[in-house]
Amino acid sequence: MGCFGMKLPYEWLEEIISLSIERIVVVNHEGIIVYIDSGYCEFLGMSYEEAIGRPAQDVIMNTRMHIVAKTGKKELEDLQPINGSVMIANRYPIVINGELVGALGTVMFPDPDNLRHFKNKMNNLMEELNFYKNKAINELKSKYTFEDLVGKSPLFAAAKRMGEKVAGSDSSILITGESGTGKELFAHAIHHSSMRSHFPFVPVNCASIPESLFESEFFGYDEGAFTGAVKGGKEGFFKVADKGTIFLDEIGEMPLSMQSKLLRALQEKEIQPVGGQKAIPVDVRIIAATNRDLIQMVEDGSFRQDLYYRLNVINIELPPLRKRKEDIELIAKSLLHKLERKFYRNGTAISPEAIEKLAAHKWPGNVRELENVLERAINVVDGSEIQVSHLPLYIADQEVKRGDQDSNDSIAHKSSAAVVELLKDTIEKAEKKAILHALHVTDGNKLEAAKLLGIGKTKFYDKCKVFGI
């Protein structure tokens, strides 16, 4: 016979009960004790034979077992003084074939020392909970200010002035620009300079939220809304950000069905949690960001026009790094200062020759790529100055163009430069051909094409932009 057809022997059940941290008593419908475990008897100072068959209230101080056996209503986590100790008691009605036949009672902490241990443990858990609660609150604050946004180039300075000017407004802002240009940093700085700076800043990556979870993540849910719902329900992004700012990053990746639900929340300025019966008013400011061409997406029908106009009240366009070459040295030094703290270094410099190489690069990954290059360099540098040799080969080996170059130097480097350019052209042509082929195979689906090529979608979109695809 299989194990599912076996019954536990009575002796096993008694041993299992004695091993439990809870002491157990069972009464019938009249409140008469029909079972009590040996540990409970020992605590009460009597034998099993003395306790069995007697009314519960005659054996156990301050008991309510006889009441639960009559009412059929369970009582949980009740503090019950017994023999000088405070017990935590749970009482459950026993219903067999629809008939109330008795009650089960359990108690914990049979002595004051264990109760003190429990209280100390609870205090430790409360301290830990408060630590993580405070940490979560700090995580919802802006981490960057406009002073952290480094650059003096005309295009970047204009974007920064616009951000500072509109920070005090409550109007929606759409920040556009290539991946890695610092859109999230701008959003942090705008929130920090706004009247909402003392309230939460909630960043949301729209590309990372499955469509099936959109409503529960954005609007929250009430307890019991669905299987697996957390007890007490959960607050969504909008409720958490109330009176503060929501930063919707990669808004262009949001599916159409989700866009309509977001638009309604923005228009009505209220949300309805999943499973909730009433709408909840919310006061949030929206800052959205994208590296996609939303106007083209509106024309293609993949982005709602009404949502686009709702988000694009104020537009701030961040220039790519290749259009602000004069800022590269400033940004590089600022990033080095940040990386020094991470790697416990101090006084790391970067040589003028290395700066020239950095300035000559096109930076398809923008500031994010520059930070990665510098992090690599600070890992391999021996002394206190980053040289050209510490840069990746694709940057270190590129030709640096100078206006007043000696003709002999030009002739000497001409053949080697041509080889480098030819190699780069060959690689770019091969990449472009592979991307076009992947798009052909996937009928133009860029996400599927990126998966086929084994690269991330952000990198795929960057390459498409570089190659004009």
Lowest mean pLDDT of 93-97, 106-110, 243-247, 263-267, name the range: 106-110
Chain-wide mean pLDDT for the chain? 85
Per-residue pLDDT at 248: 96
Distance CA 88, CA 183 (A): 54
Distance CA 37, CA 110 (A): 13
Q: What is the CB neighbour count within 10 angstroms for residue 117? A: 12
Query: Under a CB-based contact definition with an 8 Å cutoff, are residues 48 and 36 in contact?
Result: yes
Distance CA 426, CA 416 (A): 15
Mean pLDDT of 299-311: 94
Query: Under a CB-based contact definition with an 8 Å cutoff, are residues 53 and 36 in contact?
Result: no
Strands (E), 20-158: 23-28, 33-36, 75-82, 85-96, 99-108
Each residue's pLDDT tens digit, 411-447: 344 434 444 445 666 787 788 888 888 887 787 888 8
How far, CA to CA in Å, does 453 sit from each of 363, 408, 424, 434, 463?
Answer: 21, 44, 19, 8, 12
Q: What is the DSSP string of 263-310?
A: HHHHHHTEE--BT-SS-EE---EEEEEESS-HHHHHHHTSS-HHHHHH
**Using 50, 70 and 90 to split pLDDT, how confident is the model at 1?**
very low
5 pLDDT higher than 60: no
Per-residue pLDDT at 355: 94
| Nearest alpha carbon to residue 221 among 236, 238, 202 | 236
11 pLDDT higher than 60: yes
| Burial class of 316 by CB neighbour count within 10 A (0 to 12, 13 to 18, 19+) | buried
Per-residue pLDDT at 117: 63
Lowest mean pLDDT of 176-190, 293-307, 452-466, name the range: 452-466
> Residue 87: helix, strand or coil by DSSP?
strand
Structural domains of the chain in order of their starting residue, each with its CATH number: 12-113 (3.30.450.20), 146-319 (3.40.50.300), 322-396 (1.10.8.60)
**Using 50, 70 and 90 to split pLDDT, how confident is the model at 43?**
confident
Look-up: residue for tokens 């700085």?
189
Look-up: residue for tokens 């556009």?
176
More confident residue, 233 or 135: 233
Each residue's pLDDT tens digit, 333-360: 999 998 988 888 888 999 999 999 999 9
Give, for 126, the enclosing helix (H) or strand (E): helix 112-139
Distance CA 409, CA 425 (A): 23
Each residue's pLDDT tens digit, 264-288: 999 999 998 888 878 899 999 999 9
- Cα 1 to its chain centre, rounded Å, is 50
pLDDT winner (highest mean) among 214-218, 302-306, 428-432: 302-306
DSSP letter, residue 204: E
Which residues does residue 107 pair with via DSSP β-bridges, in sequence order?
23, 89
**Using 50, 70 and 90 to split pLDDT, how confident is the model at 251?**
very high
Distance CA 174, CA 315 (A): 5
110 pLDDT higher than 60: no
Query: Under a CB-based contact definition with an 8 Å cutoff, are residues 247 and 205 in contact?
Result: no
Each residue's pLDDT tens digit, 72-105: 999 988 888 887 777 789 999 999 999 999 999 9
Each residue's pLDDT tens digit, 379-414: 988 888 999 999 988 888 877 665 444 444 443 444
Lowest mean pLDDT of 41-50, 98-107, 126-135, 175-184, name the range: 126-135
Which residue type occupies 270? Answer: E
Distance CA 265, CA 253 (A): 18
291 pLDDT higher than 60: yes
| Nearest alpha carbon to residue 150 among 379, 321, 401 | 321
Distance CA 184, CA 305 (A): 24
